Structure 1
Amino acid sequence: MSRSLHQWQKADNRELIEFILERYHAMHREQLPQAIQLARRVEQAHAGDSNCPEGLAEHLSEMYQELESHMMKEEQILFPMLESASYPQGPIMVMESEHDDHELALQHIEKLTNNMTLPEGACGTWTALYDLLSELVQDVRDHIELESRVLFVPEEQLAGRCCGGCQ
């Protein structure tokens, strides 16, 4: 994140949404297809190796579909509502629930890859895959944190003028 969460709390929704679209949505749309391709190559080349992250490509494909659906809902429904200064509690609750699902998907990546631990003598493709996955996992977590702790929080609550009941 180029700014701290505290600094983003002072930005207007339009600026924050533009940053999320450029920094996270666009990046995830690049990272996941690359990761899927690398995972397929690793799984094919190292099938039978006990360290091979079998099922990773399939998991990443499912995750990409879920994340793409989530981002489209944000782009087409939620973000326009937030830019118009309304607080759509129902859609936000749906997105927060999906964020929980994304975190579980990230944890499954960590499980399949033994926390991105490369076996001794890992090939360049395997190394590139785990480097990319480490970046992806951190980016998705940063993305979720920025939305959950800043964008999806009512302005009154961020300003300290809310008892918390407006959520």
Structure 2
Amino acid sequence: MSQQLIQQWQDAPVNELIQHILANYHEKHRRQLPELIQLARKIEDVHNDHQECPVGLADLLSEMANELDSHMMKEEQILFPMLAGGIYPSGPIAVMEEEHGEHEQLLERLAKLTHQGKAPRGACGSWIMLYEGINELMADLREHIALENEVLFREPIAAAPQHGKDFCCGSCQ
């Protein structure tokens, strides 16, 4: 992810960044994954005898879809409204960052299974399209995670609590 994107959003209003994340990542992931799962199932069925067939790809993408859906729902229903209200709850933020680490591990598994998103020589158009979509998903998800971890989840210095004053772990919300 480019530092330019991080810098672009560094000083943006929190609500604007949240809307950007919802529109450009949450909604997009919800569209991308079902399409990729369907295409992966097709490739696994048609090319199951090919040496480089990504066996288990549809299952991995389904696991990612379930994990991301649960994660994004928690952000949308709990964390984002708190952040929009100027509350930076350390507990929920820590949970989301931990889940981001788990998403990174899923991305590593995805990259390994798909040979870093490189379709084999002579692959059919559907296989090439699948891997192009996977490469886009991997790039989008990495950007998404970086924007949240490096920008959205960082409390503005002016709003930071002073030695426990106005501190919230998120449990009381």
Same fold (TM over 0.5): yes
Residue of structure 1 in register with 2:133 after alignment? 132
Matched, 1:16 2:17: yes
Worse-matched range after superposition: 60-69 or 5-14: 5-14
Task: Please give the residue correspondences for 1:102-121 in structure 2 after superposition, counting only pairs within 5 Å.
Answer: 102-121=103-122
Distance 2:84 2:74 in 1: 14
Residues 46-94 of structure 1, C-alpha deviation per residue, up to 9 Å, x if partnerless? 0121100000000100110000000000000000000000111000000
Residue of structure 1 in register with 2:48 after alignment? 47
Residue of structure 2 in register with 1:80 after alignment? 81
CA shift at 1:4, angstroms? 2.2
1:90 maps to amino acid: G
Residue of structure 1 in register with 2:35 after alignment? 34
Secondary structure of residue in 1 paired with 2:12: coil
Matched, 1:142 2:153: no
Q: Work out the number of aligned pairs and report it.
A: 162
Considering only aligned residues, what root-mean-square deviation do their CA atoms show, in Å?
2.1
2:12 maps to amino acid: A
Matched, 1:62 2:72: no
Identity of aligned residues (%): 53
Distance 1:49 1:7 in 2: 44
Secondary structure of residue in 2 paired with 1:114: coil
Distance 2:120 2:92 in 1: 43
- Mark the runs of 5 or more structure 2 residues left unpaired by the alignment: none
Residue of structure 2 in register with 1:7 after alignment? 8
Tell me the TM-score normalized by structure 1: 0.92
Tell me the TM-score normalized by structure 2: 0.88
Distance 2:98 2:143 in 1: 16
Secondary structure of residue in 2 paired with 1:4: helix
Residue of structure 2 in register with 1:71 after alignment? 72
- Mark the runs of 5 or more structure 1 residues left unpaired by the alignment: none
Distance 1:104 1:14 in 2: 29
Distance 1:100 1:131 in 2: 24
